[in-house]
């Protein structure tokens, strides 16, 4: 791909960039390039919520189909990244409700992520996994989602857009969640 058709990531996540590409590049190419950029992080988040790779793939593909429809209809999307995360989040929550699953998938993902970061004995891994599961159990749903999205690298504003809450609420949920972790893991003595 030559320099003239390459997507600038700063433009990818703004409406202005999409508008510019609409005039200079077919919509299908724009969506394909955005898909190549955003697929992996969206899959990771979808997997965290639904706990299934296949379902996560389906949800991400549906989100991009919806994005294509929105852009084809010239909808105004100010932040494509948060818009895509919000669509994937909502699709995943709907999927969980339809299947009647509990939100233990988030707990499992965080425990697995922690295990991958630390190499230790199987016994230590089990203890760490149980500790994370217990710690996440004390968080409410919003606190959990805020922490998971923040771990994915989203800004407070993007998390707010995904969860349809204010950035201030995100700050409060993150602070409460972290405070609960601190209290849970405070040295006894």
At 128-186, the pLDDT tens digits run: 666 666 666 788 888 888 888 888 889 999 999 999 999 999 999 999 988 887 776 66
Contact 105, 46 (CB under 8 A): no
Residue listed under structure tokens 């390459």 = 6
On whether residue 4 sits in a domain, the answer given is no
pLDDT at 35: 93
C-alpha separations of 99 from 90, 94, 144 in Å: 14, 9, 20
DSSP state of 78: S
Q: Are residues 110 and 92 in the same domain?
A: no
164 in a domain, yes or no?
A: yes
Largest CA distance in the chain: 66
Q: According to the model, what pLDDT value does residue 36 have?
A: 93
Closest CA to 162 of 85, 97, 107: 85
Instruction: Out of 99, 126, 145, pick the residue that ends a domain.
Output: 99
d(Cα 165, Cα 93) in Å, to the nearest integer?
A: 16
On whether both 61 and 120 belong to a single domain, the answer is no
Domain of 50 in residue numbering reads as 9-99
Amino acid 43: pLDDT: 92
- Whether 36 is in a domain gets the answer yes
**What's the rounded mean pLDDT across residues 122-126?**
68
- For residues 126 and 49, membership in a common domain is answered with no
* 1 occurs within a structural domain: no
Q: State whether 14 and 90 are in the same domain.
A: yes
Give per-residue pLDDT as tens, 44-100: 889 888 888 899 999 999 999 999 999 999 998 888 999 999 999 999 988 888 776
**Does residue 85 sit in the same domain as residue 141?**
no
In a domain, 92, yes or no: yes
Lowest-confidence segment of 1-15, 114-128, 165-179 by average pLDDT: 1-15
| Mean pLDDT calculated for residue range 2-7 | 40
Whether residues 45 and 117 share a domain: the answer is no
**128 domain-assigned:** yes
Instruction: Name the domain boundary from 99, 126, 148.
Output: 99
CA distances from 48 to 26, 31, 92 (A): 33, 24, 9
- pLDDT of 130: 67
43 and 78, same structural domain?
yes
Structural domain count, the chain = 2
Q: 120 Cβ partners below 8 Å, 6+ apart?
A: 128
Looking at 44, 73, 99, the residue that finishes a domain is 99
DSSP per-residue codes, 89-105:
HHHHHHHHHHHT--THH
pLDDT of residue 138: 80
């Amino acid at each position: 791909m030559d320099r003239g058709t390459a997507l600038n990531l700063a433009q990818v996540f703004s409406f202005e960039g999409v508008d510019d590409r609409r005039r200079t590049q077919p919509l299908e190419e724009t969506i394909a390039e955005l898909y190549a950029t955003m697929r992996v992080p969206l899959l990771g988040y979808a997997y965290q919520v639904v706990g299934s790779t296949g379902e996560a793939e389906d949800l991400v593909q549906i989100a991009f189909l919806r994005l294509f429809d929105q852009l084809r209809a010239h909808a105004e999307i100010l932040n494509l990244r948060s818009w895509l995360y919000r669509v994937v989040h909502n699709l995943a929550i709907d999927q969980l409700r339809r299947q009647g699953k509990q939100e233990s998938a988030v707990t499992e993902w965080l425990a697995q992520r922690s295990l991958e970061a630390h190499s230790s004995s199987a016994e230590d891994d089990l203890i760490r996994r149980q500790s994370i599961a217990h710690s996440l159990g004390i968080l409410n749903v919003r606190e959990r989602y805020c922490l998971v999205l923040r771990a994915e690298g989203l800004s407070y504003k993007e998390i707010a857009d995904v969860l349809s809450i204010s950035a201030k609420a995100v700050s409060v949920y993150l602070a409460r969640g972290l405070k609960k972790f601190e209290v849970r893991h405070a040295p006894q003595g």
